[in-house]
Structure 1
Amino acid sequence: MHGSGTANEPDQEFLALERELAVFLRRARAQSGEMAREVHPELEPAAYGLLVRLDATGSQRATELAGYFGVGKATMSRQLRALEDLGLVTRDPDPADGRASLVRLTEEGRARFRRVRDARRERYRRKLAGWDRAEVAELARLLHQLNTGAEDAP
């Protein structure tokens, strides 16, 4: 039976998925580095994803960001401090909890991020010009499903 897999015959679909994701992730890391440097020459690659999330949410607690990205609080604090030092994010007191703060993009951070994001979107448009819009939407949906599953996984 195809796809059932045994100890001697691993599921080819999952091997193919692993192989393609490995290539995708390697390229994505390299591109994140490029995009981070385009936002600010001193920005580390991982910080670009933080800017994406803050642009989408408006503001979030550092603990929420750490949970979303699956990193520890110390790592998140260090990354946010670096973004703050560059003037790209700021912290405001959380009205729901005076002990906590909400992180948000500064005007400068938002402007720099959106300039790079818009240029990146244009590159995707060119790269996927031969794709049907429904295929692009399906890829986005499947990646969202994969990401959501990763958030929920133990």
Structure 2
Amino acid sequence: MHNTGAEPPANGASDAEGATGVDQAFLALERELAVFLRRARATSGEMAREMHPDLEPAAYGLLVRLADAGRQRATDLAGYFGVGKATMSRQLRALEMLGLVTRAQDPADGRAFLVQLTDEGRERFRRVRSARRAQYARRLAGWERGEVAELARLLHRLNGAQEAEE
């Protein structure tokens, strides 16, 4: 007999959970996010290598943040990405050695430094980001513009929910 939603199934599980007690919507979300994240890591690695052959994949996200938000303190970047100060410091040193970022003393606090893209870093990032956007446009060519906007909105909401927990 099909459950119309008016009463819980006899085994106590909701329709979404089915007989196993596993919420199928969250199971599907977990599965799709796992595939998405694996592919995103691979793509970030490709983008990082396009920026510079010696650039670590994780560092590409730092460049995105600096390009979008402007110069920042290393501690703010570490907090944004949810990593330790030592990890951030190591990644920033590597980017600095590659000539992609520079550090300057924070005029508001002489003990702190602000990190920003160099002109070279900004130009390399612009080229790679343009190529990445073109790749997204090709992959989503069959989607309505509103669907792309909705996906971006939902991902923003997901990211915001995670930030609120940290």
TM-score range, shorter chain: over 0.9
1:53 aligns with 2:65: yes
Which amino acid in the other structure matches residue 143 of structure 2?
A: W
Please state how far the C-alpha of 1:91 moved relative to its aligned partner: 0.7
* RMSD over aligned Cα atoms: 1.3
> Structure 1 segments of 4 or more deviating over 3 A?
5-8
Give TM-score scaled by structure 1 length: 0.95
Please state how far the C-alpha of 1:123 moved relative to its aligned partner: 0.8
Task: Supply the distance in 1 between the matched residues of 2:148 and 2:27 (Cα, whole angstroms).
Answer: 23
Say whether the 8 Å CA contact 2:78–2:84 is kept in structure 1. Answer: yes
User: Structure 1 unaligned runs (5+)?
Assistant: none
User: Structure 2 unaligned runs (5+)?
Assistant: 1-13
Give TM-score scaled by structure 2 length: 0.89
Q: How many correspondences in the alignment?
A: 153
Please state how far the C-alpha of 1:93 moved relative to its aligned partner: 1.2
Which amino acid in the other structure matches residue 104 of structure 1?
A: Q
Deviations 1:40-92 (A, max 9, x none): 00000000000000000111100110011111000000000000000000011
Task: Supply the distance in 2 between the matched residues of 1:59 and 1:152 (Cα, whole angstroms).
Answer: 23
- SS state of the match for residue 102, structure 2? strand
Which amino acid in the other structure matches residue 53 of structure 2?
A: P
The match for 1:21 is: 33
Please state how far the C-alpha of 1:32 moved relative to its aligned partner: 0.5
Distance 1:6 1:131, change over 3 A: closer
Higher relative contact order (CA 8 A, sep 6+): 1
